[in-house]
Amino acid sequence: MRLQLTFGLASLAACLAAAAPAVAKPKGAFIGPGTYSPADGCQKFAKLAAGTLLPNIENYPEKLTADGFYSWEGGCTFLTVRKLRASVWVTRMFCAEGSVEERNTTTFVKLKGDRWRVTGNGGGLTYKRCKPAKE
């Protein structure tokens, strides 16, 4: 009886482990770890974290992570990612800002110094990696 119970529990554990969903990495994993922001965005994030800057639409900078773009009013998530060349990726993104939803094609070019040049919809910005906030 004890052997049957042990075998039954082992079988149950094996089935549960096999049925557990794998943790999927973000579609934007090519971006790498961390947070990226244009211009003075990293300084604003540090001030927001320290409480020396009030969070509002004017102060909240754009943010790029492996999950997508985010701003005060909305953001974009990766739908598809295609590597075009050694340091160039073309993506389709789903974006929502307020009640406006759209799909965009966005190009990411990896630059030196932990920076990305991001272009799409007739414009572009350079994002640099922000230093992690001190804990």
Give residue-wise pLDDT tens across range 52-82.
Answer: 999 999 889 999 999 999 998 999 999 999 9
Domains of the chain: 25-129 (2.40.128)
Give residue-wise pLDDT tens across range 101-131.
Answer: 999 999 999 999 999 999 998 889 999 999 8
DSSP per position, 72-112: SSEEEEEEEEEEEETTEEEEEEEEEETTEEEEEEEEEEEET
The answer to whether the CB of 118 falls within 8 A of the CB of 32 is no
Percent of the chain residues topping a pLDDT of 90? 66
* Both structure tokens of 78: 């990766």
pTM over the 0.85 mark: no
* pLDDT at residue 21 tops 60: no
